A and B are shown apart, each in its own frame.
Chain A
């Protein structure tokens, strides 16, 4: 059974220690030498650059196009929302009946209920297709992903570090491995507070996401995420899209410090900042 850990407030610093202990107990193998690089995947057609350990080089700034951020299912345009083909394999998310009703309720309430509009971290996979760029930093043992939106981050451990028990994370707990030229990332402990998009598509704390990053060439990655959540869906399902490398010279991530905009609104309402 999972322990209820940590809405840590001013008086609950002890919980922090508990987290730390949990972290310390994890069967980590940090610093272990990564397995010797295997030969390049013979089935792969990837012909782009590679890192010194012969993996496809994903270092750089990337961004998804399309409209999945607003709605991962096919949709016509509405005010402020461009139309989109949808990214769900088979077209429709296989909700259980109660969950479909809940999604429809979320849709009705989306302007207040979308966690992103409260400036909460977007979760996975939504972080991958926000209308903001993200930056990948790739090393043999860890892959860091920094997102422009709300400075969210993920560290994907490739070094055999085990998943942490008993904790939930807005951005999940990610462990990855290379299968040939495909980076496979297994993310758990995502909690139940994030949505898949701005249209109310949601999940429970049983969500497990397996992402496959398959580089097509130096500037395109085929991205697939398999969504498994037996509490909400009748079966696992998949979404997929292409992620594009941003090629502008000297590009760097800027800020969408969402929380700042909350306080700007608050202070403005109060007649400006002191």
Chain B
């Protein structure tokens, strides 16, 4: 007999546990302990300037289409990088390899550094209210209302779908007037129109936001707005598991931050060479952050020739995990379909 593939949300949580580091782990960097700004040991961030000019599509776009896999990130957005020697055995390397035997690497000459690049201290500028909310969320992880939406198999929005997770292939399509991204994670997708059309009515909300793109030279710039805000589990960013020993108020765990209806993101996809795309996301939500803040990292590596994306059926079958984690039975709930 065969069963279908259902990948449970809790699997994702593991990625964010200590030890789940990757290529951009700043190995060799001096240890950055608690209370030290994660960026303290790194030069100020500068946007990469690339001399690479991709080939053109039939309609004249820089052609970045194809299959990619995620370049692994440091374990959290704000988390100080931990030298390899201090880490737990690296489960991410041994178990989550995105169908690959070899992990994708940074382009030559790239600096491995924490991904929070603005403000300069690399910390997420939460308002006091958002900080209190985060503490509340962390303290209530046994309740389904407080769980990370990604564990519920909700669409995690932007930029979270671009933050590496165990199953993270990406397929970038281009057609005249559009860039379309299929995410292997939870079979998510985004269609990005490039024609300068206005944003949608604010009453229309999408879990992955409403995207409006443009090419600035070889850089794809996307404004994303109109995010879903209907559930307490629609988080901006982060993971279910707090880093052990790190209190919520230390601002070094980067998780449990729901966004408001004002949340918006500006993304920049910069092709560095034929195999690498650098990603930057400026995040703004005046109800949650005291100022906009920015993450940046080398995000996409062209997939090896034999890479075949597979369906990641997250919600199907996840009821067992929710029962296990929160003693909540959703198996009897049915939804009206038109």
B100 touches A24 (CB 8 A): yes
Report the minimum CB–CB distance from B185 to chain A (whole Å): 11
Report the minimum CB–CB distance from B231 to chain A (whole Å): 6
A266 interface residue (CB < 8 Å to B): yes
Stretch at the interface among B123-131, B214-222, B300-308: B300-308
A259 interface residue (CB < 8 Å to B): yes
B335 interface residue (CB < 8 Å to A): yes
Given known pairs A13-B96, A59-B176, A121-B316, the reply for A151 and B308 (CB within 8 Å) is: no
Stretch at the interface among A35-43, A134-142, A217-225: A134-142
Residues of B within 8 Å of A180, CB to CB, are none
B84 interface residue (CB < 8 Å to A): no
B228 interface residue (CB < 8 Å to A): yes
Query: Whose C-beta in chain B lies nearest to the C-beta of A115?
Result: B316
Given known pairs A2-B2, A20-B98, the reply for A261 and B7 (CB within 8 Å) is: no
A6 interface residue (CB < 8 Å to B): yes
Report the minimum CB–CB distance from B143 to chain A (whole Å): 8
Q: Roughly how many angstroms separate A258 CA and B186 CA in the complex, as a whole number?
A: 13
Classify the secondary structure of A's interface with B. loop
Contact residue range for chain B? 35 or more
Task: Produce 1/0 per residue, A169-191, CB < 8 A to B.
Answer: 11100000000000000000001
B187 touches A142 (CB 8 A): no
Residues of B within 8 Å of A89, CB to CB, are none
A170 touches B4 (CB 8 A): yes
Stretch at the interface among B113-121, B146-154, B249-257, B285-293: B146-154
Task: Produce 1/0 per residue, B86-111, CB < 8 A to A.
Answer: 00000000011111110000000000
B6, B155, B335: the one within 8 Å of A119 (CB): B335
B204, B305, B328, B336: the one within 8 Å of A30 (CB): B305
B308 touches A28 (CB 8 A): yes
Task: Produce 1/0 per residue, B186-222, CB < 8 A to A.
Answer: 1111010100010010001111101000000000000
B13, B175, B207, B210: the one within 8 Å of A260 (CB): B207
B230, B305, B308, B333: the one within 8 Å of A266 (CB): B333
B182 interface residue (CB < 8 Å to A): yes
A238 interface residue (CB < 8 Å to B): no
Residues of A within 8 Å of B4, CB to CB, are 6-7, 168-170, 191, 193
Query: Whose C-beta in chain B lies nearest to the C-beta of A164?
Result: B308
B146, B174, B191, B335: the one within 8 Å of A117 (CB): B335
A105 interface residue (CB < 8 Å to B): no
A273 interface residue (CB < 8 Å to B): yes
Stretch at the interface among B26-34, B40-48, B165-173: B165-173
Given known pairs A8-B5, A151-B155, A170-B316, the reply for A137 and B308 (CB within 8 Å) is: no
Residues of B within 8 Å of A31, CB to CB, are 66, 305
Q: Roughly how many angstroms separate A2 CA and B5 CA in the complex, as a whole number?
A: 14
A137 touches B231 (CB 8 A): no
Stretch at the interface among B71-79, B265-273, B317-325: B317-325
Residues of B within 8 Å of A131, CB to CB, are 338
Q: Roughly how many angstroms separate A166 CA and B3 CA in the complex, as a whole number?
A: 10
Query: Whose C-beta in chain A lies nearest to the C-beta of B99?
Result: A20
B191 touches A255 (CB 8 A): no
A5 touches B180 (CB 8 A): no
Classify the secondary structure of B's interface with A. loop
Report the minimum CB–CB distance from A56 to chain B (whole Å): 14
Given known pairs A20-B99, A24-B99, A170-B311, the reply for A117 and B334 (CB within 8 Å) is: yes
Task: Produce 1/0 per residue, B228-252, CB < 8 A to A.
Answer: 1011110000000000000000000
B313 touches A121 (CB 8 A): yes
B36 interface residue (CB < 8 Å to A): no
Q: Roughly how many angstroms separate A257 CA and B210 CA in the complex, as a whole number?
A: 14
B67 interface residue (CB < 8 Å to A): yes
Given known pairs A13-B166, A19-B310, A273-B145, the reply for A258 and B330 (CB within 8 Å) is: no
B23 interface residue (CB < 8 Å to A): no
B100, B230, B313: the one within 8 Å of A20 (CB): B100
Residues of chain B from 1 to 35 with CB closer than 8 A to chain A in the complex: 1-8, 10-11, 13-14
A144 touches B182 (CB 8 A): yes
Q: Roughly how many angstroms separate A250 CA and B191 CA in the complex, as a whole number?
A: 12
Q: Roughly how many angstroms separate A144 CA and B189 CA in the complex, as a whole number?
A: 10
Q: Roughly how many angstroms separate A19 CA and B186 CA in the complex, as a whole number?
A: 15
Residues of A within 8 Å of B7, CB to CB, are 6, 8, 16
Report the minimum CB–CB distance from B99 to chain A (whole Å): 3
Residues of A within 8 Å of B182, CB to CB, are 144, 146, 153, 155
Query: Whose C-beta in chain B lies nearest to the C-beta of A51?
Result: B58
Report the minimum CB–CB distance from B326 to chain A (whole Å): 11
A26 touches B189 (CB 8 A): no
Show 14 residue pairs from A and B whose CB-CB distance is below 8 angstroms, ordered by the A residue: A20-B97, A23-B309, A24-B308, A28-B305, A28-B307, A119-B335, A132-B338, A137-B180, A153-B187, A193-B4, A257-B155, A260-B207, A260-B230, A262-B335
| B-to-A contact residues, CB < 8 Å | 1-8, 10-11, 13-14, 58, 65-67, 95-101, 140, 143-146, 152-155, 166-167, 171, 173-176, 178, 180, 182, 186-189, 191, 193, 197, 200, 204-208, 210, 228, 230-233, 303, 305-311, 313, 315-317, 320-321, 324, 328, 330, 333-338
Q: Top 6 closest A-B pairs, CB basis?
A: A20-B99, A10-B10, A169-B311, A117-B334, A52-B58, A23-B308
Given contacts A25-B306, A167-B5, 15 further A-B contacts (CB under 8 A): A6-B7, A9-B8, A9-B11, A16-B11, A20-B100, A21-B99, A121-B187, A138-B175, A151-B187, A151-B189, A171-B187, A252-B210, A255-B207, A257-B155, A258-B335
